[in-house]
């Protein structure tokens, strides 16, 4: 696999340096006021913009300020609030399941454990990595659509499979950069490396991006 090539390691170093310079204030675009609220925002973020998630989650938490109130609410009422985020039925199930975990076996503490988090329907590897990375600083790579797209274009990976992309990133980027590289990839994907009509001429990675050379 390409990520084993020493040249890819050099490419990764150049990528991280260029992105850090271009986006010095890069961070998670989901509000992170507390661990459990971030987790629910992560659940709501599937196929939805972070801007919409932040607004809708704000409405949810204004009415239900704790996990117990969410866990005990009528699912139809929760569904009515989170509907703007789409995938309403599955997200409602996931939000309530998470709240029940929090008020039950997790004793009010979001676990620093990807596998435990993934026991909640609707929390896959991407969201679990986001939670442990943002809440606990645990080295984890969040591979969303932006990250997957830009890492393939740059030449870090040859795969479209998020699990394989994650492994390729982990091979060539230092552990202490894993959380940040996800955010940097999102910034690049939104600003320059868009799915359609990417702004390659203006991109801060133009001099070495595989797509350009």
35-136 and 2-26+140-191 share a CATH fold: no
Q: 36-61: string of b/e by CB count within 10 Å (b at 16+)?
A: bbbbbbbbbbbebeeeebeebbeebb
The angle formed by the CA atoms of residues 95, 96 and 101, to the nearest 5 degrees, is: 100
Selection from 138, 113, 134 nearest residue 28 by Cα? 134
**Domain 35-136 class?**
mainly alpha
Selection from 165, 169, 151 nearest residue 211 by Cα? 151
Which tokens go with 66? 């704790």
| Cut 0.85: pTM above it | yes
pLDDT by residue, tens only, the chain of 213 residues: 444 688 999 999 999 999 999 999 999 999 999 999 999 999 999 999 999 999 999 999 999 999 999 999 999 999 999 999 999 999 999 999 999 999 999 999 999 999 999 999 989 999 999 999 999 999 999 999 999 999 999 999 999 999 999 999 999 999 999 999 999 999 999 999 999 999 999 999 999 998 876
Is the CA virtual torsion 115, 116, 121, 125 positive or negative?
negative
Conformation bin of residue 45: beta by default, left when phi > 0, alpha when psi is -120 to 50? alpha
- Locate the domains of the chain by residue range: 2-26+140-191, 35-136
**Domain 2-26+140-191 class?**
mainly alpha
């Amino acid at each position: 696999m390409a990520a084993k090539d020493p040249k890819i390691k050099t490419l990764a170093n150049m990528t991280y340096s260029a992105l850090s310079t271009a986006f010095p204030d890069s961070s998670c675009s989901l509000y992170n006021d507390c661990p459990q609220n971030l987790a629910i925002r992560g659940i709501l973020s599937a196929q939805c913009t972070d801007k919409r998630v932040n607004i809708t989650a704000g409405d949810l938490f204004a009415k239900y300020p704790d996990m117990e109130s969410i866990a005990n609410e009528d699912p139809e009422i929760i569904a009515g609030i989170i509907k703007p985020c789409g995938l309403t039925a599955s997200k409602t199930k996931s939000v309530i399941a998470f709240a029940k975990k929090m008020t039950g076996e997790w004793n009010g503490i979001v676990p620093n454990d990807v596998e435990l988090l993934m026991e909640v329907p609707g929390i896959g590897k991407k969201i679990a990595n986001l939670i442990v990375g943002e809440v606990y600083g645990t080295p984890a790579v969040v591979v969303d659509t932006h990250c997957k797209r830009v890492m393939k274009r740059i030449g870090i990976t040859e795969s479209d499979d998020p699990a394989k992309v994650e492994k390729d990133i982990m091979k060539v980027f230092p552990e202490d950069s894993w959380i940040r590289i996800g955010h940097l990839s999102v910034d690049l994907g939104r600003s320059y490396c868009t799915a359609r009509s990417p702004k390659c001429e203006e991109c801060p990675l133009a001099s070495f991006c595989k797509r350009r050379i």
